Amino acid sequence: MTKIALDAMGSDEYPIPDVTGAVQAAREYGVEVILVGDEEKIKPVLDSLNPGSLPVSIVHAPEMLTMEDKGVALALKARRPNAKNSMAVGIDLVKNGQADAFVTAGNTGAALATAYFRLGMIEGVDLPALAPVFPTATGSCVVLDIGANPDVKADNLRQFAIMGSIYAEKVRGVKNPKVGLLSNGEEEGKGNSLVREATPLIKNAGLNFFGNVEGKEVIGGKVDVAVTDGFTGNVMLKSSEAVAKLIVDKIREAIKTGGPLALLGGMLVKPALGKIKKLLDPAEEGAAPLLGVNGLVFIGHGRSDDFAIKNAIRVAKNAIEADVLKAMREGIAERLN
């Protein structure tokens, strides 16, 4: 049975959403979930959910990493051999083969540092990349990196392109995914020095390289994978989320303040608005993979509720079943040698 270690101390409202989502996932997806964290806090929540014979267990980790952990102090906590925080203990379960993947809704920087120090990197990959799925006009697009690395080199973007292409194909089911390099213009030669230097590297990496893409083309569904540095990707992610929220909020406001006809129209379009809300809701994916580390790690948002946690476990399960880590190792070795 697929085993997934879950950081039960990860979400902002831990451990209730984390434990509830884990029980739902175990029931719905037939996975074994190992809850990692303070047993005194986790067990009462788990017992209240009456899990019965569901394969949900607890591994005690008395400490936790928070948003206050930064810099050298974070690095020391992330790499200490006998670390007792929930992220270190959970990732060690993956490293030791006791779990197939690790999922957390905790501090992204802490998860990244802990995975980097405890799992190491896939041979041939220098930096990890956080790779969420963006909704597009034609389906979805894997965008990487969206925050793990503000500063990168051209060869890092080549590595990101290879990993993103493999993930899109193996986990998202996209045949021969189109890879685009995020830039401020479609024409080759546009962009900053990083983009211009990375273009020939990605073009010669044996991928289905579409070329340069602007943000509107990513959202328009022109490519299946969009590659960029973590600074640009993070700005794009947060801007997209803000615009999506603004549009939905303004539609609701217009319906509520537009009088009886607007209210009637709102009732008629409610099912359609529900579909749009679902498309734009990050909880539908739950978590993004941290590609490049030598193990499966998925990072969700601190605001995750039980629905998001359940879906994060589903995303991790899909990656495990697709054997994406093996494909990543083989694909990197093949294309970079």
Per the domain annotation, does 43 fall within a domain? yes
Query: Which backbone phi and psi does 33 adopt, to 5 degrees?
Result: -115, 130
Tens-place pLDDT, residues 276-315: 665 556 667 789 999 999 999 999 988 889 999 999 999 9
Residue 330 lies inside a defined structural domain of this protein: no
User: Residues 143-198: pLDDT tens digits?
Assistant: 998 888 888 999 999 999 999 999 999 998 899 999 999 988 777 777 788 989 99
Q: Both 44 and 113 in a single domain?
A: yes
Q: Is residue 337 part of a domain?
A: no
Contact between 327 and 171 under an 8 Å Cβ cutoff? The reply is no
Give the domain extent around 55: 3-129+285-322
Is residue 107 included in any domain, yes or no?
yes
Same domain, 64 and 100: yes
**Cis amide bond preceding 249, omega within 30:** no
Predicted confidence (pLDDT) per residue in 8-41, tens digit:
999 999 999 999 999 999 999 999 999 999 999 9
328 within a domain of the structure (yes/no): no
Q: SS3 letters for the chain?
A: CCEEEEECCCCCCCCHHHHHHHHHHHHHHCCEEEEEECHHHHHHHHHHCCCCCCCEEEEECCECCCCCCCHHHHHHHHHCCCCCEHHHHHHHHHHCCCCCEEEECCCHHHHHHHHHHHHCECCCCCCCEECCEEECCCCEEEEECCCCCCCCCHHHHHHHHHHHHHHHHHCCCCCCCEEEEECCCCCCCCCCHHHHHHHHHHHCCCCEEEEEECHHHHHCCCCCEEECCHHHHHHHHHHHHHHHHHHHHHHHHHHHHCHHHHHHHHHHHHHHHHHHHHHHCHHHCCEEEEECECCCEEEECCCCCHHHHHHHHHHHHHHHHCCHHHHHHHHHHHHHC
Our count of domains for the chain comes to: 3
From 138-142, 230-234, 236-240, the region with the lowest mean pLDDT: 236-240
Check whether the bond before 15 is cis (ω within 30° of 0).
yes
The pair phi, psi for residue 272, each rounded to 5°, is -65, -40
Nearest residue to 42 via CA among 28, 32, 53, 57? 57
**pLDDT at residue 269 in the model:** 61
| CATH code of the domain containing 178 | 3.40.50.10750
257 falls within a domain? yes
Q: Chain-wide mean pLDDT for the chain? A: 87
pLDDT digits (tens, 9 = 90+) for 187-220: 777 778 898 999 999 999 899 999 899 888 888 8
Across residues 75-99, what is the average pLDDT?
Answer: 88
pLDDT tens-digit series, residues 254-281: 777 767 765 666 576 667 666 666 555 6
**Domain co-membership, 221 together with 294:** no
Q: Cα(112)–Cα(90) distance, rounded to whole angstroms? A: 13
Q: Do 54 and 159 share a domain, yes or no? A: no
Give the span between the Cα atoms of 211 and 207, in whole angstroms: 11
> For 113, what's the count of Cα atoms within 13 Å in the CB-facing half-sphere?
21
| Residue 332 belongs to a domain | no
Task: Say if residue 186 is in the same domain as residue 216.
Answer: yes
| pLDDT (tens digit per residue) in 100-121 | 999 999 988 889 999 999 999 9
Co-location of 170 and 93 in the same domain: no
Going by C-alpha positions, the residue among 285, 298, 286, 288 that lies closest to residue 94 is 298
Whether residues 96 and 145 share a domain: the answer is no
Residues 35 and 122 in one domain: yes
CATH label of the domain that carries residue 124: 3.40.718.10
- Cα dihedral sign for 277, 279, 284, 290? negative
Do 44 and 140 have their domain in common? no
Same-domain pairing of 107 and 169: no
Q: Give the separation between CA 223 and CA 261, rounded to whole angstroms.
A: 40
User: Looking at the domain assignment, is residue 175 inside a domain?
Assistant: yes
